[in-house]
Chains A and B, each alone.
Chain A
Amino acid sequence: MTSFINYIYNFARETWLRGFVNSKSKEDIADIPDRFRDFPKVEKEYCIACGSCTASCPSPNAIKLVRDSDNEESQGLTFPIINKSSCIRCGFCAEVCPSEPKTLYCGENHFIQEDFNIIPSKRKYVIDDYLCIKCHKCQDVCEVGAIDLKNNRMVVNQSKCISCGKCLSVCPVKGAMKGVFIANLEEQKEIIQLVVDTLESYIESKQDDLKEIHDDKLFLSEIDFEPLFKDSLNIINDEELVYEVLEKAINRLNIRLVIWDSTLCNKCQLCVGECPTGAISFDNEYDEIVRNKDKCLRCSICYQTCPFSAIKYYSAKFNLDKKDSGEEVIHITVKESQLAKRRA
């Protein structure tokens, strides 16, 4: 028994002594985890001096672009320098740096990694959080569990999505669930531009009819869908995509038109000074007002300024519809703006 107590006593004394002497923390407390975002490191050879790092920096004085002095052999390098006493280590500069490879490096965790989906699909399914009513119908119908509630938002996990499109058909809100065509975005923009241009030129060609309508009356017209569809197919040869883009563009389009009646114009030049973009100018040689359509913002300031009602302002809406014969047409509704009249 005594030997046991003795043993305990000796053991305790030894560990206590050891603990007392070596009580301080080891080096491990200074260890920095791999994912820690330290001050950005600058590789100045890669810098293209675009200035996006300085623009993205939330802290004033933290980062600035400097230039080495020139020497006989070459021009001095331009590169960013980090002021450590202002830098907040947010990593924005490294994130926006467009040079390849990156000039600024600030922890691997912060680079944006694109969602990767192995299924070849034209569409990317996204949920518009603004329209979503969080009914969870898409979540219930999704067979692979790609849709989830994250931070009180319904989110499609792109790495799980198999692009079956069931969520699109089950969504009760029009436009909340979107199957967006992700490839050829520029061509899609071209198609929309084509739609706007054709519809606008069509309405402008009906100027004489437009003059007939007064007050709250509407001008109704129709235009065939087929030629527009064929023209669009020349841009992208994909009927499904083109039809959807055209349908959405036409149904949402709200064109504003500024139409000039040069017979009423008294050349007072009031509109010239008022135009915010300088689209209207006076041609001294021909003694007439010239309007540059490409610069025009359709802001209606000229229409509101004109004392002789030479300028008319219309807003037009469109709807894609099927006739009984199966032919598709675009219904056009044009309404004259009542802005100037109401003010008077």
Chain B
Amino acid sequence: MLKTLKDIVRKSSIHVCIVNCGGCNGCDVELVACLSPRYDLEQYGIYVHNNPREADVILVTGAVTEQWRENLRRIYAKAPEPKVVVAVGNCPQSGDVFAQEGGRVLAPVSDFIPVDAAIPGCPPRPSEILDAILAVAPGAIAAKGRIQDK
């Protein structure tokens, strides 16, 4: 009974923390568009807090720069279990246009923290981001929570 209640709560209330670890800000702008009345993120029970201590989902944007190498691990450690990391855009996956020869980016993000889902696009459409979060986050959080409870 308690478990199912926990599952329902975890599925219907997702707290998000956006981390830009060195990108062009394009993906962040698309994330802000998710908050707009057209996409209205909060109708799905997703709340953007930008505080890793309350986060269930960490949205990583941007190719990892030198300064973010340690900070990214710290932010990941601060988020309470169960947590899900979603890489938004191409930068956290491959470095995108920044991964030029002689460039100073340390992409992909999965070298530093475990990534559960990735959304391709430069930037992805707000609806794509929303789809991905909704497809992955509730199930993953609930599943991880169940494992943790045991």
Q: Which residues of A come within 8 Å of B, CB atoms?
A: 23-25, 29-32, 36, 39, 58-61, 83-89
Docked Cα-Cα span, A104 to B99, in Å, equals 24
When distances are taken between beta carbons in the complex, the residues of chain B under 8 Å from A23 are 43
- Interface size on B (CB < 8 Å)? 22
Query: Given A24-B43, A30-B131 in contact, is the A89-B125 Cβ separation under 8 Å?
Result: no
Q: List the one stretch of B2-10, B46-54, B116-124 in contact with chain A.
A: B116-124
Minimum CB distance partner of B37 in chain A:
A25
Question: Is B38 among interface residues, defined by CB-CB distance under 8 A?
Answer: yes
B94 lies within 8 A of A29 (CB): no
Q: How far is the CB of A248 from chain B (nearest CB, A)?
A: 42
Question: Is B100 among interface residues, defined by CB-CB distance under 8 A?
Answer: yes
Q: How far is the CB of B128 from chain A (nearest CB, A)?
A: 8
Docked Cα-Cα span, A83 to B130, in Å, equals 22
Question: Is B61 among interface residues, defined by CB-CB distance under 8 A?
Answer: no
Query: Given A29-B127, A30-B131 in contact, is the A89-B97 Cβ separation under 8 Å?
Result: no
Question: Is B112 among interface residues, defined by CB-CB distance under 8 A?
Answer: no
Secondary structure call for the B interface: loop
How many A-B pairs fall under 8 Å by CB?
Answer: 51
B96 lies within 8 A of A88 (CB): yes
When distances are taken between beta carbons in the complex, the residues of chain B under 8 Å from A87 are 90, 120, 122
Which of B90, B121, B127: most chain A CB closer than 10 A? B90
Query: Given A25-B39, A85-B94 in contact, is the A60-B100 Cβ separation under 8 Å?
Result: yes
B94 lies within 8 A of A61 (CB): yes
- Given A59-B122, A84-B121, A86-B93, 12 more pairs with CB closer than 8 A: A23-B43, A25-B43, A36-B125, A60-B99, A85-B118, A86-B94, A86-B95, A87-B122, A88-B90, A88-B96, A89-B121, A89-B122
Query: Given A29-B39, A30-B127 in contact, is the A86-B44 Cβ separation under 8 Å?
Result: no
When distances are taken between beta carbons in the complex, the residues of chain B under 8 Å from A39 are 120
- Enumerate 6 A-B pairs (CB-CB under 8 Å) in ascending A order: A23-B43, A29-B130, A30-B127, A85-B93, A86-B96, A87-B90
Q: How far is the CB of B26 from chain A (nearest CB, A)?
A: 10
When distances are taken between beta carbons in the complex, the residues of chain A under 8 Å from B66 are none
Q: How far is the CB of A32 from chain B (nearest CB, A)?
A: 7
Docked Cα-Cα span, A79 to B27, in Å, equals 30
Docked Cα-Cα span, A88 to B93, in Å, equals 13
Minimum CB distance partner of A61 in chain B:
B94
Docked Cα-Cα span, A24 to B121, in Å, equals 25
Question: Is B111 among interface residues, defined by CB-CB distance under 8 A?
Answer: no
Minimum CB distance partner of A88 in chain B:
B122
Query: Given A24-B44, A86-B90 in contact, is the A60-B97 Cβ separation under 8 Å?
Result: yes
Name B124-139 residues within 8 Å CB distance of A.
125, 127, 130-131
